[in-house]
Structure 1
Amino acid sequence: MSWLVGDHGPEPGPKGLASSPAEKRAAAHAIQDHIESQTRKAGDWADEETAAAVKAFGARDGDGWQTSAALRKAHETWGDQVKNLMDRLGAEQDSLGSSNTVLTGSDLAVGSRLRQVSALDRY
Structure 2
Amino acid sequence: MRLNGVPPEPGSSAPGPVGPGGSANFASTPAEKKAAANTIETELEPNTKKATEHADDATSTAQKGFEGWDTAAGLKKVADTWDQQVKTLMGRLASEKSALRGASGLFARNDLSLNNQFAAQSKLNGL
| TM-score, length-scaled by structure 2 | 0.74
* Aligned residue runs from structure 1 range 9-48, under 5 A: 9-10=16-17, 12=22, 17=27, 19-48=28-57
Deviation, structure 1 residue 95:
0.9
Distance 1:117 1:16, change over 3 A: closer
Which residue of 99, 103, 107 corresponds with 1:99? 103
1:97 maps to amino acid = R
* Aligned residue runs from structure 1 range 1-123, under 5 A: 7-10=14-17, 12=22, 17=27, 19-58=28-67, 61=68, 65-117=69-121, 121=123
1:16-73 per-residue CA deviation (whole Å, 9 max, x = no partner) reads 93x2111111111111111111111111111111111111111xx3xxx311111101
What is the distance in 2 between the residues matched to 1:39 and 1:114? 47
Distance 1:16 1:42, change over 3 A: farther
Runs (4+) off by over 4 Å:
none
Higher alpha-carbon deviation: 35-44 or 25-34: 35-44
Q: Secondary structure at the match of 2:120?
A: coil
More helix by percentage: 1
Q: Secondary structure at the match of 2:17?
A: strand
More strand by percentage: 1
Gaps of 5+ in 2: 1-7
What is the distance in 1 between the residues matched to 2:26 and 2:74? 44
C-alpha RMSD over aligned residues: 2.4
> Taking every aligned residue pair, what percent have the same amino acid on both sides?
37
What is the distance in 1 between the residues matched to 2:44 and 2:15? 36
Pairs aligned (count): 109
